[in-house]
Amino acid sequence: MQARLLLQDGTLFTGTAFGAEGEKTGEVVFNTGITGYQEVLSDPSYCGQIVTMTYPLIGNYGITRDDFESVRPFVHGFVVRRHESVPSNWRAEYSVDDLLKEYDIPGISEIDTRMLTRIIRHYGTMKAILTTSNKRVEELMEMMGDTTIEQLRNQVARTSTTTTYSSPGHKERIVLVDYGAKTGILRELNSRGCDVVVVPHDVTADEIRRLNPDGIQLSNGPGDPKDVPYAVQTISELLGEYPIFGICLGHQLFALACGADTEKLKFGHRGGNHPVKELESGRCFITSQNHGYTVNEESVVNTDLEVTHINNNDKTVEGLKHTRYPAFSVQYHPEAAPGPHDSSYLFDRFLELIAEHKANQPAGSRQAQLAANARITAPKPSAPQLEAVKGAL
Amino acid sequence: MPKNDKLKKILVIGSGPIVIGQAAEFDYAGTQACQALKEEGVEVVLINSNPATIMTDTNMADKVYIEPITLEFVTAIIRQERPDGLLPTLGGQTGLNMAVELARAGVLKSENVKLLGTQLESIEKAEDRDLFRELMRELDQPVPESAIITSVEEAMGFASGIGYPLIVRPAYTLGGTGGGICDNEEELRETVKAGIRYSPIGQCLVEKSIAGMKEVEYEVMRDANDNCIVVCNMENFDPVGVHTGDSIVVAPSQTLSDREYQMLRSASLKIIRALNIEGGCNVQFALDPQSYQYYVIEVNPRVSRSSALASKATGYPIAKMAAKIALGYTLDEIVNPVTGQTYACFEPTLDYIVSKIPRWPFDKFISANRKLGTQMKATGEVMAIGRTFEESIHKAIRSLEIGVHRFRLPGAELLEESVLRYRLAKPDDERLFLIAEAFRRGYELQEIQDITNVDWWFLSKIEGLVSFEEEIRGEETLSAEILYQAKRKGFTDRAIAEIRAEGRPGGAFTKESEVRVMRLQQGLVPVFKMVDTCAAEFEASTPYYYSTYETENEVIHSDKQKVIVLGSGPIRIGQGIEFDYSTVHAVWAIQKAGYEAVIINNNPETVSTDFNTSDRLYFEPLFFEDVMNVIAQENPIGVIVQFGGQTAINLAAPLAAAGVNILGTSLESIDEAENRKKFEALLARLDIAQPKGKTVINIDEAVETAQALGYPVLVRPSYVLGGRAMEIVYNDTELLSYMVEAVKVNPEHPVLIDRYMLGKEVEVDAICDGETVVIPGIMEHVERAGVHSGDSIAVYPPQYLDEGLKQKISEITIKIAKELKTIGLVNIQFVIYQNEVYVIEVNPRSSRTVPFLSKVTGIPMANLATKIILGGKLKEDGYTEGLWPESDYVSVKVPVFSFAKLRRVEPTLGPEMKSTGEVMGRDKLYAKALYKGLIGAGMKIPATGAIIVTVADKDKAEAVELMKGFHAMGYKIIATGGTAAALEQAGLNVMNVNKLDEGEPTILDLIRGGQANFVFNTLTKGKTPERDGFRIRREAVENGVVCMTSLDTVTALLIMLQTINFSSESMPAFVGQ
């Protein structure tokens, strides 16, 4: 069956359909990873996007139950040069085609994906419509126009957990705020013995306080950080109170909460080969990235933030730390999946920060904390949320 | 970190002669490194014994030493030059071993030379089996369980704990002699018993077999600041068990999920960090296809063959970066030269698939054991790029030039079922095609996988291509849709036509031209995409392209006039790195003349395929259709074919027929030199003598002709490359066996029979612009006619030619060059017999000796020839007609062989070329130059020692005279029966040794036991002596004993030894007493 991909600028690609039949609009972006298409497909940060893989052969090793980064894919379309329908890997359970069909995501193959990538590189990310229908181009253009950016937004709410749940451990209690979190973050924390409580994106500061965490992990997530002002509010309330570690969208929200600003990149960073320099040591790490927005470097100047990492190619901000509070963040993905494992040490650093923070607490502060908690008069949590919290405890 | 300013002068060690396992990739790496170092203002001193390299051009380093890479010579150079640092990691194993020797001998310390790139300790950790295993244990990296055993009982004990299959590797035997895989107790008992016997120290390594696992490689880089990156990972088509140099390889890996990819990536990084390497490193893994279990197979703490492949596959210049890192730079501060805007600290990402197929010498060595295993046998390789595996592998196949241009091996359909099965299970060079044959015979994919262990993914691709053939031939006519799909899968017009002809002979679209016309009518032409290291994420400016059937073309047009140079494809015996040398020089000359130089080539090991060598590089097969595609894209003023060896020459005719302008010597002239009849007429016209001969088209005619000419005669097939299938026969029986077994003779494939003259061979390369002929020099061969010119020791200037003969040779050369209207280079081979000069062969192109002669005469021949081809005149450059004045220095070119790696190959020199590389020795004295050449070629020549002599009856008299000389210098002479008697009769003290059938210890035991330094053996015809002689020669080459099979070489050796050694003679008695 034929499929077409129509870009906002009028460029039309005609190829072969795979995955689900239908029509989806989204922002078209490219990912340069050679491996990891399953993780990309299931990374909630791609919510609302039509993703093209620059590596031409996709599906070689199939789909396995172990490699999902969330419960389902949120992409709006998948674009590849060649869909390999017969996977070969000991863990393969089914094909990319099966996965896309299951979640009603259209795919297109047999098109010049390098040309598409070059268009995006040149003109920036843009809207596109992926269809298996026979509709006229004009009609498709109109449909694309009707899809407002707003409809494509609201992605955080779509991808976040709606309930709080716990992934128990015997060490530090970490509240993981899920803005569309990748499972990898939870996996990294759990593997270090952390007692993780995952909370929804719209959690309030008091709700977090009541969970009495040792630290707060801000997750990655899709879209523009400015679309979730409530999250910024919550983070700013908790600053200084608990050690905080932000990843990707969590990093951007942390920056906004500290008074810095974010902006959109022309075509973002998506892939597993991005060099990030740690300014303190001068060392470079190859990182996994997926973001369309970035923290504006100049906006950091008059805040309490310090740039700790930059992208060694375009010099954009890749990491921040608070100069007074125990809080830091990175724009990239230390949890990898997909991508290199070089930066997983950041989770250890987070736990060290928590330990330091604890050690620095004056004696009796635990009691003071309890007293403070008792004074909380913020709105009471809803019944189901409370249930969940109890369950988590 | 900025550059280390203390490093002002650096010594770079090259890799020496081309041998199997160490080829042109190190010229590429070394050239890049020298350029990178010079770029940084460092004074570069280079040592390499191989004259056929770009790196040994005097403009590549500040000082170039073409000297033997031995402790003695390198130490002398270090003392003379006093470098601050030594960079050994770009000269292959040779460079690394030399560094270790220098360090152990205390030279580096005493001369205060810093070892750059990899420290001695790291080299030892990576190279020493025990240290390596210990390191892996420390790093928690798995290696296959193994044990070193000295008895069958110990082996059994190990097996009981580990289970089967097991690999047995006898210690210190070359080519894996006596080892093998054992599936059960009985096999183990037998193999170990034999292994202990074969091993000179009676020791074997028994190792858990991981054959059948996936083989995956990672190319890693690290700098002094501990920044690490993976440049590329690669997956082998052939599972573990076949040497990676003999494996078909794809990049990137295809069947690894991100978890597996990252697991092995992390392991690679851990290893390079532990080894503290500053530069490049290669890590090979075996990965269980059914679990996360993996093993580290090997680590190369240096730039390797795989690095060259990874560089070309990704565009990332590994050697250049390694050189900069050695100077102290860190990856994050070195600009990625491909994009010009990003940095070297990133991991290249591909948006295409690269396939590499090795090129094996089995077309030359028909008797060789073709089976592939742990000993590498390939001489070269091809690489191809496509957007699908099908496209990529198809391109690689037709780049091989082995007479197969698609998934059909002629004759495979005739194989018996059992043979097919056996050859699928025990891989040889043709397995790729036999898999296709199995699919054609209806084998199930699963069945083939069970037999071969090749991954399902690769097999399913081949199955898909075989079944697509049905669609190609399915319909009466060729539909546009099928044609489109076929092109996307990499089928050529010729393949499509052939496939259709298989189904419906004489039907529509069964001729290549028909398919081509239809395709062009439909506007179905490939586009060219860029290799940019970053999958188009950043704008890049590298002019490195590959073709594919897609939508967008990325080649940026320029208004400048362009010239295309055809490269020479994979390195093979007879067509080596020398041709790449000339190609690169041609490019430089084209650019200097104000044109854009465009290269088409497919050899990833070479300098010509470095992205910054030419204005545009097309990494494409040297196949008519692919070359035409590039020509259509570039619209050049013409194509130069004379530097790409026979590969390019063979393309001249079809290209010219398609209307392409061939620059330089015309097609007619090429044909006149190559076509036997026309060539004979040419010489007759010029009144130039040539050995009498005749072209025959059947066996009766052959016998008749041979008898008329008189034996011995030289027989060979018509169009030759490197003396393929050429033989000297001495009687009717030998002639008949040759005609029946070695060649197919028929009117289309005639056989040439020439009178064989045992004279002196002389070779000349000349440059002609149509008016003037410049002869840079005459090379005299040490071995008489009958030994292929590529296998002879060549001496410049000639030592034993009088002025008259030189004059005669010059005159003939000028006459032929002019008569052929040569524009560019021409190579002529002569034989001088009874003071008469005969012409044997004229090659209307750049030859193997061009780099050597250019270097020793100082005339940049390929460069000059290119100028001429582009319309220049020799006189304009101040050259005058005739022989260039001879140099004061004597230079010898000594061939280097890889016999130890090729089992069952006959080491005797003959009319078939067998050498894989060459070295040069240069000095004021002939004897010293020869010494350097022989030492550089790897011969160990002690001033005292023992010589084993066994020669044919016809050679006995000559041998006796020679041995007197060796005897006088104190060498111990060992001989068998007849030879011993002849020597004793001449009054020499001889130790008699048993022939093979005379009971132990035999001559073989002596060789094996290290009791002989030289073996002089000449070929005796006849079944038993031939077989015994063969075993003696094989034993010698496998044990690293100098083996000479021509008495001419022995004579040269004697003269050399007599000149450089002292011999003692008692005083003559008083007169009259």
**The three-state (H, E, C) secondary structure of B167-183, written as one string:** EEEECCCHHHCCCEEEC
B1026 burial type by CB count under 10 A (0-12 exposed, 13-18 middle, 19+ buried): middle
Please say whether the beta carbons of B459 and B448 come within 8 A: yes
Which residues 321-360 of B are in CB contact (within 8 Å) with A? 330-332, 341-343, 345-353
Of B258, B346, B536, Cβ closest to residue A118? B536
Question: Which residue has tokens 């030039």?
Answer: B401
The DSSP letter of residue A90 is: T
Q: Which residues in chain A touch residue B226, judged by CB atoms under 8 angstroms apart?
A: 283
pLDDT at A390 (0 to 100): 45
Q: Is the pLDDT of residue B173 over 70?
A: no
Cβ separation A338–B388 shorter than 8 A: no
Q: Does the beta carbon of B259 lie under 8 angstroms from any beta carbon of chain A?
A: yes
Closest by Cβ to A115, choosing from B389, B535, B552 = B552
CB–CB contact A340 B265 (8 Å): yes
Mean pLDDT of B1040-1069: 89
The residues that bridge with B65 in the sheet, in sequence order, are B47
What is the Cα–Cα distance from B977 to A154, expressed in whole angstroms? 97
> Mind telling me how many Å the CA of A130 is from chain B's nearest CA?
19
pTM for the whole thing? Answer: 0.94
- Which residue among the candidates A47, A172, A335, A357 is catalytic per the annotation? A335
Confidence of residue B815 (pLDDT cuts 50, 70, 90): very high
Yes or no, beta carbons of A88 and B350 under 8 Å apart:
no
CB atoms within 10 A of CB B286: 24
Residues in A closer than 8 angstroms to B332, CB to CB, are: 275, 277, 282, 284, 312
Interchain CB contacts (distance < 8 Å): A and B: 161
> Which residue of B lies nearest to A61 if distances are taken between CA atoms?
B255
Separation between Cα atoms, residue A376 and residue A212, nearest integer Å = 13
Question: In this complex, is the C-beta atom of A42 within 8 Å of any C-beta atom belonging to chain B?
Answer: no
Inter-chain touch A35–B539, beta carbons under 8 Å = no
**How remote is the C-alpha of B280 from its chain's centroid?**
23
Which residues on chain A are in Cβ contact (under 8 Å) with B388? Answer: 56-57, 81-82
| Least confident segment among A89-103, A323-337, B711-725 | B711-725
| Residue B214: pLDDT band with limits 50, 70, 90 | very high
B257/A64 touch (CB, cutoff 8 Å), yes or no? yes
Question: If you average pLDDT over every residue of chain B, what do you get?
Answer: 93
Identify which of A88, A112, A271 has the shortest CB distance to residue B456.
Answer: A88
Q: What is the pLDDT of residues A223-247, one digit of tens each?
A: 999 999 999 999 999 999 999 999 9
Q: Which residues in chain A (320-339) have CB-CB distances under 8 A to chain B?
A: 336-339
The enclosing H or E element of B589 equals: helix B577-592
Nearest chain B alpha carbon to A37 = B258
What mean pLDDT do residues A220-225 have?
A: 96
Q: What is the average per-residue pLDDT within B908-933?
A: 94
Tell me how close the Cα of B256 comes to any Cα of chain A, in angstroms. Answer: 7
- List the beta bridge partners of residue B491: none
Of A55, A121, A273, the CB nearest to B346: A273
Q: What is the pLDDT of residues B240-275, one digit of tens each?
A: 989 999 999 999 999 999 999 999 999 999 999 999
Look at A46-60, B187-201, B221-235, B881-895 and tell me which has the smallest mean pLDDT.
Answer: B187-201
Higher local confidence (pLDDT), A374 or B120 = B120
Catalytic residue among A47, A194, A248, A258: A248
User: Nearest residue of A to residue B548 by CA position?
Assistant: A112
Q: What percent of chain B has pLDDT over 70?
A: 97
For the cut 60, the answer to whether the pLDDT of residue A391 exceeds it is no
pLDDT (tens digit per residue) in B1020-1031: 776 666 788 899
Q: What is the pLDDT of residues B759-812, one digit of tens each?
A: 999 999 999 999 999 999 999 999 998 899 999 999 999 999 999 999 999 999
Is the separation of the CB atoms in A219 and A249 below 8 Å?
A: yes
Q: How confident is the model at residue B1019 (pLDDT cuts 50, 70, 90)?
A: confident
Q: Report phi then psi at A13, rounded to 5.
A: -110, 130
Q: Which of the four pLDDT bands, split at 50, 70 and 90, describes residue A388? A: very low
Quick one: B402 exposed, middle or buried, by C-beta within 10 A (0-12, 13-18, 19+)? buried
> Rounded mean pLDDT of B1060-1065?
76
Q: What interface predicted TM-score (ipTM) does this complex get?
A: 0.93
> How far is the CA of A217 from the CAs of A173, A221, A354, B47, in angstroms?
10, 13, 11, 58
Give the per-residue pLDDT at B544.
96
B193 marked as binding residue: no
Known catalytic membership, residue A138: no
Number of helices followed by number of strands (H, E) in chain A: 14, 19
Q: Does position B1062 have pLDDT exceeding 80, yes or no?
A: no
Q: Does A67 touch chain B (CB under 8 A)?
A: yes
Q: Residue B524: what pLDDT?
A: 97
Task: Look up tokens 């690489």; give the residue.
Answer: B383
User: Is pLDDT of A385 > 80?
Assistant: no
At A170, the pLDDT band (50, 70, 90 cuts) reads very high
A311 touches chain B (CB under 8 A): no
In the residue annotation, A335 being an active-site residue is answered as yes
Taking all residues of chain A, what is their mean pLDDT, rounded to a whole number?
Answer: 92
SS3 B652: helix
Of B332, B460, B552, nearest to A112 by CB-CB distance is: B552
Q: Which residues contact B233 (CB under 8 A, 6 or more apart)?
A: B216, B217, B218, B219, B251, B252, B253, B256, B261, B264, B265
Do B537 and A340 make contact, defined as CB atoms within 8 angstroms? no
Q: What is the mean pLDDT of residues B564-580?
A: 96
Is A188 in the active site? no
B313 touches chain A (CB under 8 A): no
Mean pLDDT value of segment A34-39: 97
Q: List CB contacts (< 8 A) between B552 and chain A.
A: 112, 114-115, 118
- Best residue of A11, A14, A61 to probe chain B, by most B CBs closer than 10 Å: A61
- pLDDT above 50: residue B34: yes
pLDDT at site A365: 60
Check residue A315 and give its pLDDT. 95
Confidence bin at A151 (pLDDT 50/70/90):
low
Which chain B residues touch A111 with a CB distance below 8 Å?
551
Rounded to whole angstroms, the maximal C-alpha distance in chain B is 103
Band (pLDDT 50/70/90 cuts) for residue A152 is low
Q: Do B535 and A82 touch (CB under 8 A)?
A: no
Q: Using CB atoms, which residue from A81, A275, A337 is nearest to B346?
A: A275
| Chain B positions in Cβ-Cβ contact with residue A89 (cut-off 8 Å) | 255-257, 260
Q: Is the pLDDT reported for residue B2 higher than 80?
A: no
